[in-house]
Amino acid sequence: MTRPAVAKPQTAELNGITLSYTDAGSGPLVVMVMGTGSPGRVWHAHQQPALVKAGYRVVTFDNRGIAPSSECVEGFTLADMVADTAALIEHLGGPALVVGTSLGARITQELALARPDLVSAAVMLATYGRPTPMLEAVSAGERELFDQNITLPDSYHAALTAHLNLSPHTLSDDRAARDWLDIIGFSGQVRSRGVRAQLGLHDREQNRLPAYRNVKAPCLVVGFADDRTLPSYLAKEVSEAIPSAEYREIERAGHYGYLEQPDEVNSLILDFLSRHR
């Protein structure tokens, strides 16, 4: 069965919740896991089309906390999100090649550890394996803004988001900076209780680097040189903890490096997956 490059969302009842996903292309299965507060369709801008064109079946999905998947506003754990991803791969007839970014990368490496039978190979973009004082402070601030019902002025929110997630090289181009500020402003400030539940995960972070020494799947870890949100040294730590991991770093890219430098990101992903498909 050949699936279209742009597929309509489907839903499945898995792991006790509803998961919304899209299924496009044909070939080896690739499951892509998005980060905090973002829907799976963010992958559709650059990575999903490139992978479909290269002959993969690509599934993107909305993590729990992101509607129309179950928002689970009562709260959940990282283990719940790992189990969701595992259930989806089983539903799709896995195992799978798994690609994640940020929180999605953390889910991916935990999945490779917990369910090695479901992960043929894994790619982790902008990842981390332990809490740091800066990560804890930023996460606590995000939770407090929500809990106190504080909404930042839209222009300031856009500027702060751009500053934290984009490379200075991108923002030094006035036209590019204006375009990104417009895009972020248009996206608005996500205030759902499901996203608040995702933010709650960061209140219980642990150092998982020692555990990652037991990951057996081939792994590619990609750091973004200008990442202020999750500095690249944190990704490198993960690559050094996983015995089978390769590490690559992309210049002129911030936390949104897969959107800023999509051709280079796609090239690294495709080269790695081609060796493990």
Q: Are 43 and 7 in contact (CB under 8 A)?
A: no
- Tokens 């129309």 locate to 68
Q: Are 41 and 8 in contact (CB under 8 A)?
A: no
Q: Which of 38, 102, 167, 239 is catalytic?
A: 102
Q: Among candidates 47, 121, 37, 33, which has minimal Cα distance to 82?
A: 33
Q: Which of 84, 202, 239, 255 is catalytic?
A: 255
Rounded-to-integer distance, Cα 266 and Cα 263, Å: 5
List the beta bridge partners of residue 10. 21
Q: Among candidates 244, 204, 20, which has minimal Cα distance to 113?
A: 244
Residue 154, CA distances (Å) to 139, 198, 207 in order: 20, 22, 35
The answer to whether residue 102 is catalytic is yes
The answer to whether residue 227 is catalytic is yes
Q: Which of 62, 139, 227, 239 is catalytic?
A: 227
Whether cis (ω within 30° of 0) applies to the bond prior to 95 is: yes
Question: What does the CA dihedral 13, 16, 18, 22 come to, rounded to 10 degrees?
Answer: -60
Q: In one letter, which amino acid is 111?
A: L
Q: Are 102 and 129 in contact (CB under 8 A)?
A: no
Rounded-to-integer distance, Cα 176 and Cα 162, Å: 11
Q: Are 231 and 203 in contact (CB under 8 A)?
A: no
Helix (H) or strand (E) holding 111: helix 103-114
The answer to whether residue 255 is catalytic is yes
Which active-site residues does the annotation give? 102, 227, 255
